[in-house]
Amino acid sequence: MFVKQLLNEARKRLITIESDALLIDAARALLKPYIALVIVCDPDGKAIGVLTNADIVRRISHCEGASCRAPAAAAMTTELICCRPDDPLADVWNKMKQNRLRRMPIIDAQAYPLGILDALDTLNALLTDASNETELLRDYVMSVGYH
């Protein structure tokens, strides 16, 4: 199973902002249901970082006066851990576990964002796939449907 098989659902979670957008705009985007990660893009639309609630809270906890109007780039996580549509889902799951991520951006080869992969969706897809494999192997071994 590959990431591209979950792309339709992942696109529903995709929210992007430009790096010079205000942090308050990112915070407003994160208020939407099912949105927990905002991808920060350069002026060409390529992913350069991500913002979570924790990033915003960390930044505004030191906020005074005009600094509260900081750009998104000032608070974003620049180490972009992401996946591509053709990545095997099991590999992506391992990367999510290793990095303790609940969500991961899906980007194309040119770094344009395509969606946000959710850990729960990933795990459900892997479990369903494993269940189907087990069922197919059992059918094969038991010769179900073969005369």
Range of the domain at 126: 3-142
If one compares 1 and 61, the residue with the highest pLDDT of the two is: 1
User: Could you tell me the two tokens for 57?
Assistant: 């809270």
Cα Rg of the chain (Å, integer): 19
CB contact set of 33 (below 8 Å; sequence gap of 6+): none
How much of the chain, in percent, has pLDDT values that exceed 70?
Answer: 84
Predicted local confidence at residue 130, as pLDDT: 74
Report the domain count for the chain. 1
CATH number of domain containing 28: 3.10.580.10
Instruction: Give me the mean pLDDT over the 104-115 stretch.
Output: 97
Q: At what angle do helices 119-142 and 89-99 cross, to 10 degrees?
A: 140
User: Could you tell me the two tokens for 93?
Assistant: 């799951």
Residue 89 covered by a domain: yes
Neighbour order of strands in the sheet with 16-18: 16-18, 38-41, 47-51
Give bridge partners of residue 22 from the DSSP assignment: 71
Residue 147 covered by a domain: no
CA geometry: angle 104, 120, 91, nearest 5 deg: 55
pLDDT of residue 106 exceeding 90: yes
pLDDT of residue 22 exceeding 50: yes
The model carries a pTM of 0.82
Instruction: Give me the mean pLDDT over the 10-35 stretch.
Output: 89
| Largest distance between two CA atoms of the chain | 78
